[in-house]
Amino acid sequence: MSTAETPVSMDIRDGIAVITMDSPPVNALGHAVRAGLMGALEQAEGDQGVNAVVIRGGGRCFSGGADIREFGQPPAAPTLRELCARIEDFPKIVVAALHSTAFGGGLEVPLSCHYRVADATAQVALPEVKLGIVPGSGGTQRLPRIIGAKRALKVILSGDPFAADAAHDLGIVDEIISGDLTDGAVAYAKKLVADGAGLRKVRDLSVADADPEVFAEMRKTWERRSRGLLAPLACIDCVEIAATKPFDEGMAAERDIFVKCRDSEQSKAQRHLFFAEREAAKVKDVPKDTQKRPINNAAIVGCGTMGGGIAMCFANAGIPVTVLETSDEALKAGMAKVEKNYAATVSKGRLSQDTMDTRMGLISGVTEYADIGSADIVVEAVFEEMDLKKDIFGKLDAVMKPGAILATNTSTLDVDEIASSTKRPEDVIGTHFFSPANVMKLMENVRGKETAKDVIATVMALGKKIEKIPVLVGNCDGFVGNRMYHRYTRQAYFLLEEGALPAQVDKVFTDFGFAMGPMAVGDLAGLDVSYLVRQRQVKNKKPGERWPVAADRVFEAGRKGQKNMMGWYKYEEGSRKPIPDPEVQKIIEAVSAELGIERREITDQEIHERCFYALINEGAKILDEGMAQRASDIDTIWINGYGFPVAKGGPMFHADQVGAAHVYERLAHWAKVASPLLEPAPLLEKLARTGGTFADI
């Protein structure tokens, strides 16, 4: 039997030693597990009655991988690399038996085994690239020797899980076991022994697809795709070394590259995000065992871009969904758009036609509210207009069954005001999906003042089921993401009026790591969208408060962005490349003169500090008000919903790296000389004076 101190056990079945890892919840390969495996191998080697070994995971999975908490600590023997070497050099056949998760180090151990079997539940992955590192215990050296360089690069660079069948097709898994996995693995090992099979050491295999062009092409692709991330290119280096160098030399190089990546600021940021995403799923005042409401079917009000995308999210998860539109014509148009989106994915080879047909079969359409009344959850996804949403929620209140969850896909509006049009505000919650909803991962869930805890628990769990990253936020104008976004875009607009031009502002953002700057993003989304938000916000404008006039003037000049080929930039037919437009410069300069602002030279540093530190400052206010549970939730929102550079870890993590004192000092400076709106938040001032960090919040 295994214990907490020795979480590895061994029993012998007809000459086969079955070694079981049993370290809940995911059999992480911490020191105790590694030492236990080493000890069991020693025992199996010395037992003359043992002919072969099966290594399996007890409980819910094979192994979730290395214990990330050990990163940066002095290595404790045996290391994972030493364990893998011991398995590979073991004098008797070793078979890995995989079920559920075999990720990271949890796959590197099987790769060092002589043979690998799995049941249908197994998923394998080397997700290290998502943590800013390379597989560090032989993954980049053994996997190419097993499946070839091209396939190995596909697995390593994606970081994504591959199901058992796919792993078998790739050649990672030798056989899929039906029935009991352990019994099947033992039988497989016995057959290998009876057939006189060799040890099949992976280190002795050569790498297929070792053509230099393979690596050159992959680098070209990932230099563009990774936008400055170190780990993807480092992974390519490691696989190329596997293809061109002896195994031991490759292992040494892999280790050096792993350490370099692990100690980088990028990896620290990516590991922060790994834990932040998992923390975001936890709601502090909602117990883990809160009873959730069943979600067996759903309804969507509106089948436009957002409504159709949200319907796809439910269908993708196998949940039947009914879409409500105002007319047959609108319904047909919306359903046609959904079908077109699925067909595009099929054409790219990322979805089978059968799967598309199944998902389309889960989506139905109606034009009467009464026809959606039996849904367990209804998501309103209409235009961002309060009176319209309140009218819809009044109608939903009349037809939805008791206990149904009433969700609004609002991006800025007051959830409590929307809920006030019902007699069941406890059932109302905000579910802010991001466009395109069937692609974007973030789901910003907004709790109203009366939202029931079981509704919160249900919607957070639903977010994970439909493969979103759910984050719970409070109810305020713009919630967390858009509230912060509006603060830094406002500074960007002011900088234009003071002397900058759109291309300069956007370049500061892309140099920082964003895919696009705020002006290009505005053109992509449509300048009418941000204009309407400002028209709503202007009602709450304080006397004397500065307003982004230039932004309004550009839209009022008939410039809607890419929708009509002219916004902050002009565009050529068939191209999304922004081209600076002298007409926009004239509009901006005219506004400067109108406002009595003498244009001056604006430095990139000023743009950086006024925009990014405004973002951090608003995050500090949000934390102080309790609109976000933790600083890392804000980072999760900004990474997954707003394109904040992964390598920087999110705005609040970035603030901690820069230092609260520095951010405070620069904001105080710019508040005096440029914009009173940059007055440092009380929480930021406190952290600056005490040496605290947002991570402590």
* Best CA proximity match to 98, nearest among 122, 120, 75, 82: 122
Measured torsion, CA atoms of residues 158, 161, 163, 169, in degrees rounded to the nearest 10: 30
Q: What φ, ψ does residue 442 adopt, rounded to 5°? A: -75, 140
322 exposure class (CB count in 10 Å sphere: 0-12, 13-18, 19+)? buried
Query: Is 249 one of the catalytic residues?
Result: no
How many other CB atoms sit within 10 Å of the CB of residue 515? Answer: 11
The answer to whether the beta carbons of residues 575 and 523 sit under 8 Å apart is: no
The answer to whether the beta carbons of residues 116 and 174 sit under 8 Å apart is: yes
Strand 298-301 vs strand 377-380: parallel, antiparallel, or unpaired?
parallel
Indicate the length of the chain as a whole number: 697
Tokens 């697995």 locate to: 155
Q: Could you give the 3-state DSSP secondary structure of residue 459?
A: helix
User: Amino acid letter at 574?
Assistant: G
The answer to whether the beta carbons of residues 14 and 190 sit under 8 Å apart is: yes
Q: Tell me, rounded to whole angstroms, the distance of Cα 217 from its chain centroid.
A: 26
Considering the candidates 42, 88, 108, 572, report the single residue annotated as catalytic. 108
The beta-strand segments (E) located in 419-473 are 428-433, 442-447, 469-473
Q: Could you give the 3-state DSSP secondary structure of residue 251?
A: helix
Interior angle at CA 378, CA 373 and CA 382, nearest 5? 115
The DSSP symbol for 679 reads P
Quote the CA–CA distance of 569 and 377 in Å, as a whole number. 41
The answer to whether the beta carbons of residues 469 and 640 sit under 8 Å apart is: yes
Considering the candidates 45, 88, 128, 685, report the single residue annotated as catalytic. 128
Q: At what angle do helices 265-280 and 631-641 cross, to 10 degrees?
A: 100
* Alpha carbon distances (Å) from 607 to 346, 500, 614: 43, 9, 10
> Which tokens in the block code for residue 566?
């002219």
Strand 101-103 vs strand 162-163: parallel, antiparallel, or unpaired?
unpaired
The DSSP symbol for 424 reads -
Compute the Cα dihedral for 212, 218, 220, 223 and give only its sign: negative
* Best CA proximity match to 685, nearest among 674, 671, 630, 633: 671
* Alpha carbon distances (Å) from 308 to 295, 324, 375: 19, 10, 17
Rg of the chain over CA atoms, in angstroms? Answer: 28
The answer to whether the beta carbons of residues 230 and 90 sit under 8 Å apart is: no
* Alpha carbon distances (Å) from 177 to 121, 137, 189, 196, 214: 10, 27, 12, 21, 34
Quote the CA–CA distance of 484 and 491 in Å, as a whole number. 11
Greatest distance between any 2 Cα atoms in the chain? 93
User: For residue 366, what is the enclosing H or E element?
Assistant: strand 363-366
Quote the CA–CA distance of 209 and 223 in Å, as a whole number. 21
Quote the CA–CA distance of 525 and 518 in Å, as a whole number. 10
Query: Is 108 one of the catalytic residues?
Result: yes
Quote the CA–CA distance of 423 and 431 in Å, as a whole number. 19
Quote the CA–CA distance of 397 and 404 in Å, as a whole number. 10
> Which tokens in the block code for residue 429?
């919650």
Contacts of 217 (CB under 8 A, 6+ apart): none
The catalytic residues are: 108, 128
